[in-house]
Amino acid sequence: MASWVLSECGLKPLPRVYPQARNGLTSKTAIFANARPLPVCKSKIFGSSLRASNGIRGTNWALNVSAPLRVPSVDGGDNGRVSVNGVEDGSDFDPGAPPPFNLADIRAAIPKHLWVKDPWRSMSYVVRDVAVVLGLAAVAAYFNNWVVWPLYWFAQGTMFWALFVLGHDCGHGSFSNNPKLNSVVGHLLHSSILVPYHGWRISHRTHHQNHGHVENDESWHPLSEKVYKTLDKATQMLRFTLPFPMLAYPFYLWGRSPGKSGSHFDPNSDLFVPNERKDIITSTACWTAMAALLVGLSFVMGPVQMLKLYGVPYWLFVMWLDLVTYLHHHGHEDKLPWYRGKEWSYLRGGLTTLDRDYGLINNIHHDIGTHVIHHLFPQIPHYNLVEATEAAKPVLGKYYREPRKSGPLPLHLLGVLIRSMKRDHYVSDTGDVVYYQTDKKLAGSVTSE
């Protein structure tokens, strides 16, 4: 059964891979010459989901990055390896090789009920998280002592991050099938933690549509060697020396990443198209209203009290966001590819993402660490991602990288982050399949610290 996959069209064989003599190199021509594509089975779930979304009159606030029905696919071929579950079985597995399955095969393996969005269940998580946020603030303000404050900061910063993840679901349209509900809840949640909802939603859509692409990806994409070498030494140090990269998100919202320009608050930014102008103005107005409310509360309660209640948790939320989003795409024991040109596809880019285990935090931040299936099918609700991932694993084979199990707190990920910051600095200016390279001078200076 290792060479079969269950799809909506029935039991289908995966393409055969014929072993051939290897000299350590396999040409792209040889790979594609022997490729045998699988029959494509259109997903009823996916199709109905698209029709439901497009059938609603008025503006569709959903993220609209659901994996397209027709993705430029690169079906597997003869890579000179014996396969198990459709992928190579051996130490010479090449993560940059075209996979021997396509997006439809993964979609067909995921049960239909996991695609269903339950707005009542989604709202129950909002109610839960908001109640915890308010309760934590009330307890901290009541006791108001330096034994409680550090505990409060960590807990509240984590809950701010949980609010962001629910707003993130709204942006993807996985919160509900009602775009107006998604927009209202998304604005309330994201504005409360100083995130411009539509500005972020649109740039995040760009990230999902171009994940794994060196130039076109939007979040934590690699710097090319040319761009990297234009940065002064101080900027290089700040970018790759902790804790500074973990404080980057607010600055990214205002000015994006090196090599790119634009602001999430500016309706004229090249991040957006003209018909999105009103959306950006709306979100910027909501962000401004929240900022004004915080200033007003500082006058009422005092700036020090507001710093303790909101300011410190906000920056801990930023650190959570930067940590989690960075580790979704960096830090694996084996280096993962980034793509350009014809080598990039939606599927291959999505397969470079990583799942992470956060221990007790998994439930608190809504299983956002279950990220591979989320990137391929962002319309699946967060509460179904774990089950969907288990269903997809037999198809993904070695292209799925099992996350290391965490203790109650994901302290092991700090070591992963530090190691990645020391070695993942830039990629080559040329080549369509590239891997991170290390600036030995910078790595030495960071290590010496």
Provide mean pLDDT across the span 210-231: 92
Cα(51)–Cα(298) distance, rounded to whole angstroms? 48
Contacts of residue 363, Cβ cutoff 8 Å, sequence gap at least 6: none
Q: What is the structure's pLDDT at 11?
A: 42
Q: What is the structure's pLDDT at 257?
A: 78
Q: What is the structure's pLDDT at 445?
A: 58
Cα(69)–Cα(40) distance, rounded to whole angstroms? 10
Contact 357, 403 (CB under 8 A): yes
Band (pLDDT 50/70/90 cuts) for residue 219 is: confident
pLDDT in tens, 172-197: 999 999 999 999 999 999 999 999 99
Contacts of residue 302, Cβ cutoff 8 Å, sequence gap at least 6: none
Query: pTM for this structure?
Result: 0.79
CA-wise closest residue to 399 among 320, 360, 345, 363: 345
Please check the confidence at residue 365 and state whether its pLDDT lies above 90: yes
Q: What is the structure's pLDDT at 357?
A: 97
Percent of the chain with pLDDT over 90: 71
Average pLDDT, the chain: 83
Cα(378)–Cα(111) distance, rounded to whole angstroms? 15
- 441 vs 110, which has greater pLDDT? 110
Cα(376)–Cα(318) distance, rounded to whole angstroms? 25
Q: Quick one: tokens of 218? A: 């939007």
Percent of the chain with pLDDT over 70: 78
pLDDT in tens, 307-333: 999 999 999 999 999 999 999 999 998
* 111: preceding bond cis by omega (within 30 degrees): no
Question: Residue 24 carries which DSSP code?
Answer: S
- Please identify which residue in the block is written with the tokens 């930014």: 269
CA-wise closest residue to 336 among 357, 355, 358, 359: 355
Q: Tell me which of 216-225, 403-412, 430-439 is least confident.
A: 216-225
Helix axes 179-192, 277-301, angle to 10 degrees: 40
Cα(266)–Cα(203) distance, rounded to whole angstroms? 12
Cβ atoms within 10 A of the Cβ of 241, count? 15
DSSP 142-180: HH-STTHHHHHHHHHHHHHHHHHHHHHHHHHT-S-S-HH
Please check the confidence at residue 394 and state whether its pLDDT lies above 90: yes
Longest dimension (CA), the chain: 76
Question: Residue 339 carries which DSSP code?
Answer: E
Q: Quick one: tokens of 400? A: 């799925």
Contacts of residue 437, Cβ cutoff 8 Å, sequence gap at least 6: 225, 425, 426, 427, 428
Q: What is the structure's pLDDT at 32?
A: 38
Please give the angle made by the CA atoms of 355, 197 and 389, to the nearest 5 degrees: 20
Q: What is the structure's pLDDT at 92?
A: 79
- 47 vs 92, which has greater pLDDT? 92
Q: What is the structure's pLDDT at 261?
A: 83
Contact 221, 326 (CB under 8 A): no
Q: What is the structure's pLDDT at 238?
A: 87
